[in-house]
């Protein structure tokens, strides 16, 4: 059960980084005058899509407690968290960690 959720997180994290990294050279190439105003549309669209995709990753729900893994409250996000900020499930844990700590 946990493996599926961790795979989801890994895939969407890779997609977020790939979108960010791939967009940089495209934006640079479009900044040349020969492309006209294409850059005026690409950069805001690319950046907006990356923000949405990052939001999807940030709202990942813990496989054990089903609360947001990286968000202790509505305003805070800890994307570098190595364990769930609510139940303490270690990131990438297998199914043997099913029960919450007592």
Confidence of residue 6 (pLDDT cuts 50, 70, 90): very high
Rounded to the nearest integer, the mean pLDDT of the chain is 85
Averaged pLDDT for residues 53-70: 92
Q: How far apart are CA 50 and CA 84, in angstroms?
A: 24
Query: Is the pLDDT reported for residue 100 higher than 60?
Result: no
Confidence of residue 102 (pLDDT cuts 50, 70, 90): very low
Buried b (16+ CB within 10 A) or exposed e, 28-61: eebeeeeeeeebeebeeebeeebeebbeebeebb
CB atoms within 10 A of CB 16: 20
pTM of the model: 0.76
Partners of 68 in the β-ladder: 61
Q: How far apart are CA 83 and CA 62, in angstroms?
A: 9
Confidence of residue 26 (pLDDT cuts 50, 70, 90): confident
The pLDDT value recorded for residue 38 is 62
| 3 state DSSP class of 26 | helix
Residue from 57, 69, 77 nearest 14 by CA: 57
CA 29 to chain centre: 26
């Amino acid at each position: 059960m946990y493996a599926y959720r961790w795979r989801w997180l890994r895939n969407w994290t890779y997609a977020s980084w790939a979108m960010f990294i791939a967009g940089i050279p495209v934006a640079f190439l479009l900044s040349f005058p020969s492309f006209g105003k294409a850059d005026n549309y690409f950069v805001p669209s690319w950046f907006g899509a990356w923000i949405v995709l990052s939001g999807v990753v940030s709202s990942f729900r813990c496989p054990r407690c089903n609360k947001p893994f990286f968000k202790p409250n509505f305003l805070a996000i800890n994307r570098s968290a190595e364990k769930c900020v609510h139940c303490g499930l270690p990131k990438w844990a297998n199914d043997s960690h099913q029960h919450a700590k007592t």
